[in-house]
Structure 1
């Protein structure tokens, strides 16, 4: 730890957990072939949307009999479509260990008002007891806690012969973690996470079991137009072939296609996962030798390799009142932003105070390594400020 200004700066200071850093080498030139000023229902528009779906299937390894749709309102919209369209046929187990999982609990309990919802919760830094999940029920969970830096370790806890559906919010896991798609009936994510695409569009992946539920079950509540995936008791196939429910931004579509093609160029899913793992390893090595900081994840096996959340464990800081600890963490983030070496790395507003550094595939490990020196510098500056105040 030193108060001396580090010599090297990150080449790219974008470490936000969403929207995330653009791919290395990105520029507006990448969007020159966007189908602008054209209907998304014209041949050129449909072809672009279908290409986005096909590339998603190829890179993620989505089974051929699963459907992939582009839907409104980012990952939130995709999750809401699934919850409102599929739940109610069986009891449901709701797993929550961070703010977005808590949000889905609120929707199910307070908006859909399902009486047979079982809540399995864990505090930030931990995950719910996966052995307690009842797979005769539907199950809703986040694969990777974007605001807690904690993920499920694998898909082994999900049985192949489950009776209920598994509905997985995978927005900060897709393209960086092995999702065990054969164990998931609904998968949702947004473009602006691991591939650094633009906002407002979500992806919805449905297994044959999820499609069967849609075609055989009618919810007790009315569905808004943008949630409706069936007509006359049959799935609307066009939604999963590029015929979107509402008008998409063809500029954003082009950007997603560019990000997918870049993903292919770095080795597809394995290459993208390896980049995220390498980025996270830089922080693992740094934390191991840095006494003032630790990961929010209590178990290293559940440590996220995308939204890496950390807490200050220095005794002088942990002895402070909670609001002062939060102020200290904000000071760290502010110092780094002022120096233009790290943008948007404060912990999520509902999470314990700390830092959150995005390590997804569009970030370079060299930039993470450079950032660690600045983190030490910022801590030294902030702690010196504490000493002066005392």
Structure 2
């Protein structure tokens, strides 16, 4: 039996959670010292800080000047729901789902809004057949499946002359993967992913086509106050100038400003950092017989939410419950050693591990993590049913 020695070093930052994600390297609470605490978000200083978040986001992501960017409540979920409830129903809808969050949007549209939508699904690890999408419909999809580690490789499948709107949940893709805004009408994400910011706030980006929909279409259902983006049939422009619908946390705003300033100061993009991080894990997977990517096609492998499956026969020969228990035991053992926090697979996903590799994570920490993964696999008892 091969013995694997416990590694003699630990990651400098063992936070590999897929949300909230690791803070930027070198972050300390002192980064929040200039927060406008106790001040109204409608004060001059409050609105100015919110406007900087919007302007910096536009610059870093390359958002076209005629697209609106708004800060909205309830994280990425709130941003997506605002779009679904405010825009769908004007024409037929197609929904794509290949992991749990995409499935969530299917549930909301079909069961809550009660639209007779076309649903294209795929199992975890795969994409639906993108050639089957009818772009005369409004199309709702996630760019990067956070719980499956499967992303669309690019925007080539979206025609420039589409008739419907494209509504894209990009929460684990923004800042880490190139988003072709000319192909996207609604883009949503939250600060807690690639920026390593605090949760509870979302970003909603609207194309001119999306704004036209809002100003010319009234849904058949009532809209809660926090979903309303128009007044008197016109877009409420204040939302996209820092005048948020509800009260934002100025502490979270300051944290986002810090993350954006850090990203702007880097000699490389957050996407380049994420790609390098994925390469570290890919090199390890290529030489490690007990593990593989959940994403079957390398072109669709996420460079942020990297999902892995255990392929050792002693584990794959066991029941699903035993496989899940083994994967959780790996994650628990690593957490107990302060080597990696929160890397168990998402509760609805197949058994395995999920490692955040976005730009706030250091490549050196991921390299050290792979040593601990090998150690944890070696010392964690394999399922008894497989060993018998």
The question of a shared fold, defined as TM-score above 0.5 by the shorter chain, is answered with: yes
Aligned equivalents of 2:216, 2:49: Cα separation in 1: 32
Tell me by how many angstroms 1:4 deviates.
1.1
1:386 deviates by: 4.9
Note if 1:216 corresponds to 2:255: no
Question: Is residue 369 of structure 1 aligned with residue 367 of structure 2?
Answer: yes
Query: Please, which of 248, 255, 277 is the counterpart of residue 279 of structure 1?
Result: 277
How many angstroms apart in 2 are the aligned matches of 1:232 and 1:186? Answer: 22
CA gap of 1:94–1:388, structure 2 versus 1, over 3 A, is: closer
Deviations, residues 326-362 of structure 1 (Å, cap 9, x unaligned): 1000010011000010000000000000000000000
Q: Residue 8 of structure 1: CA displacement?
A: 1.7
Q: Which residue of 2 is the match for residue 292 of structure 1?
A: 290
Alpha-carbon distance between aligned partners in 2 of 1:377 and 1:46, rounded to the nearest angstrom:
50
Separation of aligned partners in 2, 1:384 and 1:170 = 37
- Secondary structure of 1:333's aligned partner: helix
1:139 match: secondary structure: strand
Question: Could you tell me how far apart the structure 1 residues matched to 2:271 and 2:228 are?
Answer: 34
Give the secondary-structure state (helix, strand or coil) at the position aligned to 1:374.
helix
| Aligned: 1:343 with 2:344 | no
Stretches of structure 1 lacking an aligned partner (at least 5 in a row): none
Please give the TM-score of this superposition, normalised by the length of structure 2: 0.98
SS in 2 for 1:310: strand
Q: Distance in 1 between matches of 2:263 and 2:129?
A: 34
- Specify the alignment match of 1:160 in structure 2: 160
Q: Distance in 2 between matches of 1:2 and 1:94?
A: 49
What is aligned with 1:207?
Answer: 207
Deviation at 1:385?
7.6
After superposition, the C-alpha distances for 1:212-234 in whole angstroms (9 at most, x for unaligned) are 00000000000000000001000
Whether 1:81 and 2:44 are equivalent positions in the alignment is no
Give the total of aligned pairs: 387
- Partner in structure 1 of residue 97 of structure 2: 96
Question: Is residue 323–residue 383 contact of structure 2 (8 Å, CA) maintained in 1?
Answer: no
Report SS of the residue matched to 2:204.
strand
Please state how far the C-alpha of 1:194 moved relative to its aligned partner: 0.4
**Structure 1 partner of 2:182:** 182
TM-score normalized with structure 1 length: 0.98
Partner of 2:71: 70
Structure 2: state its 5+ residue gaps: none
Instruction: State whether residues 2 and 376 of structure 1, in contact with CA within 8 Å, keep that contact through their aligned partners in structure 2.
Output: no
- Secondary structure at the counterpart of residue 366 of structure 1: helix
Between 1:271-280 and 1:80-89, the stretch displaced more is 271-280
Describe how 1:1-390 pairs up with structure 2 within 5 A. 2-115=3-116, 117-267=117-267, 271-383=269-381, 386=384, 390=388
CA shift, 1:181, in A, is: 1.1
Distance 1:114 1:389 in 2: 49
Report the 3-state secondary structure (helix = DSSP H, G, I; strand = E; otherwise coil) of the residue aligned with 1:260. helix
Asked whether the 8 Å contact 1:125–1:297 carries over to 2, the reply is: yes
Change (3 A) 1:274 1:312: same
CA 1:80–1:385 in structure 2 vs 1: closer, same or farther (change >3 Å)? closer
State the Cα RMSD in Å.
1.2
Structure 2 SS opposite 1:69: strand
Kindly indicate whether the alpha-carbon contact (under 8 Å) linking 2:230 and 2:236 is maintained by their aligned counterparts in 1: yes
